[in-house]
Amino acid sequence: MTGKSSAGTFAQDVPAAKAMGRRGTLVAAVAGGTLALAVLAVPIYWKSMPPGPQAAAPAAATPQGHAGQAPADFAAMAGRLAAKLAANPDDPRGWALLGRSYLALGRYAESVAALRRTVGMAPGNADAWADLADALVMASGRRWNPEAAAAVEGVLAAAPDHDKGLWLAGTEAFERGDYRAALRHWERLERVAAPDSGIRDDLAASIREARSRLGGKRR
């Protein structure tokens, strides 16, 4: 596990976060880019399985639209994955994919349930912890709660430089008024984020706002 989130997801999540406000309450994994990744990942997951009746891959969907405009057959693909996991539940990779799929579809309670299973079986999966925090906040009406905050701690325990984890950690700290902690997380993200990650402007604005809440002081 690296310190980064799954390839491409963090930068693609930013437009959804912007739509929710400068900081939002999370980096929303319901962005269209995350949906596209999930749509592509499900058939790849099936192809990686051993031959057999359960391994028949569904027809790949064509990603289209934005958050909330999921291709109809993607929901069916997620349903087939859920059925496979009901029969073969000891598969953290499958649960992680199902959780992300439900998150992309806006089925937050189901996403939470799947991702709880993932981190229970694979506590070192930083991406799953980040998606769990995301889903928990969305499931509670875009409000932080103790379990979501603990999930962010799980991200950074597994991967201290995880970009989505650092963004979420800063957001959670800012929302509860701990501007020093928010600044610490966001400044670390500023150091480790890829130059082409697409988050620089929003991150810089968030850092400026945290500093202004501290009266211009860095610490």
| CA terminus-to-terminus distance, the chain | 31
Is domain 9-213 given the CATH code 1.25.40.10 in the classification?
yes
pLDDT, average across residues 182-187:
96
Neighbours of 72 (CB within 10 A): 7
| Token representation of residue 93 | 């990779």
**What is the distance between the alpha carbons of residues 45 and 165, in angstroms, rounded to a whole number?**
25
Question: Which pTM was predicted?
Answer: 0.74
Taking only the tens place, the pLDDT of each residue in 35-51 is 444 444 544 454 444 44
Residue ranges of E strands in 42-178: none
78 or 124: which carries more pLDDT confidence? 124
Q: Which residue shows structure tokens 């905050």?
A: 149
- Answer yes or no: is pLDDT of 34 > 70: no
Confidence of residue 5 (pLDDT cuts 50, 70, 90): low
Separation between Cα atoms, residue 153 and residue 139, nearest integer Å:
19
Res. 76 pLDDT band, cuts 50 70 90: confident
Cα-trace Rg, the chain: 17
